[in-house]
Amino acid sequence: MKQVYRSQYRQQTWNVRSFPQGTRNCYTLNLTIGDKYLIRATFLHGGYDDQPSTQFDLHLGPNLWSIVSTTNETEAVAFEMIHLLTTDRLQICLVKTRNSTPFISVLELPKLMNTTYLTQQGSLQLANRADVGATVYHYRYGIDVFDRGWTRYNIRNCSRIRTNQTVNVNNDYQPPEIAMVTASVPTDPDAPMNISLFPVEPTLQLSMVMHFAEIQELNSSDVREFNIMYNGKHIYGPIRPLNFITSSVYTSTEVVADENRQYTFSLRRTENSTLPPLLNAMEIYTVILLPQQATDRKEVDAMMNIKSAYSVNKIDWEGDPCVPLDYRWSGVNCTYIDNEQPKIISLNLSASGLTGEILEFISDLTSLEVLDLSNNSMTGSVPEFLADMETLKLINLSGNELNGSIPATLLDKARRGSISISIEGNNGLCSSASCATTKKKKKNTVIAASLVLVFLIGAGIVTYLILKRKKIAKLGLHSRSHHGFEPPVIAKNRKLTYIDVVKITNNFERVLGRGGFGVVYYGVLDNEPVAVKMLTESTALGYKQFKAEVELLLRVHHKDITCLLGYCEEGDKLSLIYEFMANGDLKEHLSGKRGPSILTWERRLCIAAESAQGLEYLHNGCKPQIVHRDIKTTNILLNEKFQAKLADFGLSRSFPLGTETHVSTVVAGTPGYLDPEYYRTNWLTEKSDVFSFGVVLLEIVTNQPVIDMKRERSHIGEWVGLMLSRGDINSIVDPKLQGEYDPNTIWKVVETAMTCLNPSSSRRPTMTQVVMDLKECLNMEMARNMGSRMKDSTNDTSIEASINFTTELNPAAR
């Protein structure tokens, strides 16, 4: 860049990289799947050549992101996109569409919180990020922790206010404090605050984030309460900004222009409000759809390995091999089927200067039908893996320096006509069956010798194991139950006889409940109340669940997980003895079976957070990791202080130690709570529990059945999504709460729940993230209630429990 411009721009823009060669040039970044980034590309010509007027395309992977157009050397052009990675590779490509040369000054990728900027489809491109009360024109890194750029924005008919006090900005969005200590309010206190956005094509979808904090000292009689409207329709509220604490509101669904091509957001005071609405900062984004799927990742890796190993020097071998179709790699043909990833069906590297052997990377092209490696200088033999490629129909190896014999299996496929092979010009290559037969005999001799050695070693091992087993049997250490399973590894002082169980339950006098496992009875053990769960039928499945629950609960100790006090295994009599949970399960309280007493919103948040902590411990605090597999409201129990604990671990599974990210298992769980991805693939991960917990959160908010065929949408997640799309969150809230809640916390819990219900497990949050969200909501609700809370003993207990609530983000492994 010319020296004259350097003082006007950040140092990152002082240099450019241009791409005069090739049509498409790409930056390939290896990142983490499921992470969310703010991707920012900046273009400042700066006079690096004599053609400052340029135009070219900017691509994110195979999809068009935007058209870059610069008109002079001093004009900087920047594009920002918030994008959730669906793969662990990100490609940013510059595509020449005219005679001008593509260039780029800066490419930045600040990482964001995954719980923010949620979209139902596509990604978000920045339209405006505004400090509406600012006096500073522009700021970003050093002031904003995520390096977001903020600009001053004036709202018509509004005045600016500010405070000298500190404003807490520690929510997931973390807007800069400099933006939150100022705000705009309507000059006329009775008038709404209107924000009219630029007119654009009516099909463009927008998303908005608004950041609020009360920055004025209010009198006891002052109330600032308002609703958010969009084109005259209510979309959120009422809102009461917290005193010097930031709350962020994000539109859950994208909005479109009205018939007049207008985008108008309004903040309107409610009838209860004595003060006008207030806004500190806002962010506006347009939704960018990214419909084109990238080529299958394994095949892209194969092509990159082929390119690197053979030093393929083709100028158009940049970016995705198959898409977009106009920029497909030369020599590559692919399949293009709607809603499916492209796959490579033909690879032509004829006369490409290749040397060395035929690489096994080619076998990763699992849909390949045509392979042409002719007229190169390839050496070595024809590999066996070519015969194993089921889709391969034509192989052209002519004009190389290959030697040895063609594998017999490949020759056999050629004789049967299932594949065509061309090998002319390879003087050292034998294509007769006799070559293969001689080679096979030598190979068989080696294999036979190896098998003898393996047999002798195996016989020795078997003999050793037989002798060891006999020794164990003599010592009485090896025993099996009549069910055919190893008995649980359990401390002797916890094992009870059936007579003990009869005494504990006073001959099974009082039934606490019934479930799929059996009957639960009330009992007394060591002068303490207990719950005794009896297996009603001695089946193999029942014993397997009994064994799983005993072994799991003996190595799991957490305040939010039910405690196992003992067990009985005597013939067909199987029972588990737990701590007594005086207030039953969460479902009973939501449904009213426990009487007319209503769980307050604060208590529901506390129950949700405690349950989430227990589940987070199973996922992150246990080695190996444990997946519950049956999270639901009936398996969340409440003690005499209404502390929540997870129960019923009969279906739980431990992951094997190592690098496994999932286990393949028969689907188990409860309809409605069951992860659809797990149901479809049989692949169990901790994200299956996250889905189930998302359903539980929606039950806590709505007190609606999980499945209701009478509803417009039968599943609770689909129904809530439909109601939110109509713009009124209050319509889904349990009416028993009678409006006694902070709408901001309701909204945040629903947002968290809906992200948990994402059909793709990779896009769901972790339980650690869920715990953090719920803790934030609980703290906000506590702050709202603290001033008016009754001081009786019951509520004192509730306050103490809430204040002492902690998040175990990284508990020690057991």
pLDDT tens, position by position, 22-37 = 999 999 998 988 899 9
Residue 632 annotated as lining a ligand binding site? no
Q: Structurally, what CATH architecture does the domain formed by 115-290 represent?
A: Sandwich (2.60)
Model confidence, pTM: 0.54
Q: What percent of the chain has pLDDT over 70?
A: 80
Range 516-553 burial, b when 16+ CB lie within 10 A, else e: ebbbbbbbebeeeebbbbbbeeeeeebbebbbbbbbbb
Q: Which of 274-278, 436-440, 638-642 has the lowest mean pLDDT?
A: 436-440
**Reduced to 3 states, what is the DSSP secondary structure of residue 263?**
strand
Of the pLDDT bands very low, low, confident and very high (cuts 50, 70, 90), residue 144 is very high
- The closest of 94, 93, 76, 80 to 37, measured between CA atoms, is 80
Class of 297-431 in CATH: alpha beta
- The closest of 92, 114, 106 to 37, measured between CA atoms, is 114
- How many CB atoms lie under 10 A from the CB of residue 39? 20
CB-based contact 82:10 (threshold 8 Å): no
pLDDT at 358 (0 to 100):
94
pLDDT at 381 (0 to 100):
93
Average pLDDT over residues 713-734: 85
Whether the pLDDT of residue 661 is over 50: the answer is no
CA 363 to each of CA 310, 359, 371, 400: distance values in angstroms, whole numbers, following the listed order: 15, 8, 11, 20
CB-based contact 545:651 (threshold 8 Å): yes
- The closest of 198, 206, 167, 207 to 183, measured between CA atoms, is 167
Of the pLDDT bands very low, low, confident and very high (cuts 50, 70, 90), residue 444 is low
Sign of the C-alpha dihedral computed for residues 354, 357, 360 and 366 taken in this order:
positive
The H-or-E segment that residue 159 falls in is strand 158-162
Of the pLDDT bands very low, low, confident and very high (cuts 50, 70, 90), residue 198 is low
Beta bridge partners of 228: 236, 267
Sign of the C-alpha dihedral computed for residues 549, 553, 559 and 562 taken in this order:
positive
Q: What percent of the chain has pLDDT over 90?
A: 47
CB-based contact 150:134 (threshold 8 Å): yes
Cα gap 716→673, rounded to integer Å: 10
Cα gap 298→479, rounded to integer Å: 47
Whether the pLDDT of residue 263 is over 90: the answer is no
pLDDT at 790 (0 to 100):
40
Of the pLDDT bands very low, low, confident and very high (cuts 50, 70, 90), residue 430 is confident
- How many CB atoms lie under 10 A from the CB of residue 478? 13
Average pLDDT over residues 55-65: 95
CB-based contact 631:689 (threshold 8 Å): yes
**DSSP secondary structure code for residue 100 in this structure:** S
For 304, residues 6+ apart whose C-beta sits below 8 A from its C-beta are none
pLDDT at 356 (0 to 100):
93
Cα gap 413→410, rounded to integer Å: 5
Question: Higher pLDDT residue, 569 or 270?
Answer: 270
Please report, for the chain, the start and end positions of each structural domain, with discontinuous segments joined by +.
1-112, 115-290, 297-431, 492-579, 598-803
Average pLDDT over residues 443-456: 50
pLDDT at 753 (0 to 100):
94
Residue ranges in 70-186 assigned as alpha helix (H) = 177-180
For 235, residues 6+ apart whose C-beta sits below 8 A from its C-beta are 228, 229, 251, 255, 727
Whether the pLDDT of residue 555 is over 70: the answer is no
Of the pLDDT bands very low, low, confident and very high (cuts 50, 70, 90), residue 323 is very high
Indicate the average pLDDT of the chain.
82
**Under CATH, which number does the domain 1-112 receive?**
2.60.120.260
Could you tell me where the beta strands, DSSP code E, fall in 224-314?
226-230, 233-239, 247-250, 263-269, 281-288
Cα gap 371→421, rounded to integer Å: 10
Of the pLDDT bands very low, low, confident and very high (cuts 50, 70, 90), residue 135 is confident
pLDDT at 733 (0 to 100):
94
Q: Is 630 a catalytic residue?
A: yes
Whether the pLDDT of residue 465 is over 60: the answer is no
- The closest of 348, 347, 345, 349 to 334, measured between CA atoms, is 345
Which of 231-235, 592-596, 782-786 has maximum average pLDDT? 231-235
pLDDT at 57 (0 to 100):
95
Of the pLDDT bands very low, low, confident and very high (cuts 50, 70, 90), residue 658 is very low
pLDDT digits (tens, 9 = 90+) for 212-256: 999 999 998 999 999 999 888 888 889 999 999 999 998 866 777
Whether the pLDDT of residue 181 is over 80: the answer is yes
CB-based contact 657:626 (threshold 8 Å): no
Give the active site residue among 131, 560, 630, 773.
630
pLDDT digits (tens, 9 = 90+) for 372-423: 999 999 999 999 999 999 999 999 999 999 999 899 999 988 888 889 899 9
**581 φ/ψ angles, rounded to the nearest 5 degrees:** -105, 100
pLDDT at 721 (0 to 100):
87
Question: Higher pLDDT residue, 63 or 9?
Answer: 63
Average pLDDT over residues 13-19: 86
pLDDT at 261 (0 to 100):
67
pLDDT digits (tens, 9 = 90+) for 708-717: 888 888 899 9
Cα gap 728→723, rounded to integer Å: 7
Strands 344-348 and 370-372: parallel
Residue carrying structure tokens 């497909």: 328
Of the pLDDT bands very low, low, confident and very high (cuts 50, 70, 90), residue 742 is confident
Tell me, yes or no, if the two domains 1-112 and 115-290 fold the same way. Answer: yes
Q: Tell which CATH classification among 1.10.510.10, 1.10.1040.10, 3.30.1490.110, 3.40.50.800 matches the domain 598-803.
A: 1.10.510.10
- The closest of 239, 243, 216, 245 to 226, measured between CA atoms, is 239
Q: What is the DSSP string of 689-743?
A: HHHHHHHHHHHHHH---SB-TTSSSSBHHHHHHHHHHTT-GGGGS-GGGTT-S-H
Q: Which of 26-35, 93-102, 257-266, 478-487 has the lowest mean pLDDT?
A: 478-487
Average pLDDT over residues 93-102: 92
pLDDT at 320 (0 to 100):
94
Cα gap 95→814, rounded to integer Å: 53
Q: Which CATH superfamily, name and number, covers 492-579? A: Phosphorylase Kinase; domain 1 (3.30.200.20)
Residue carrying structure tokens 């206010």: 161
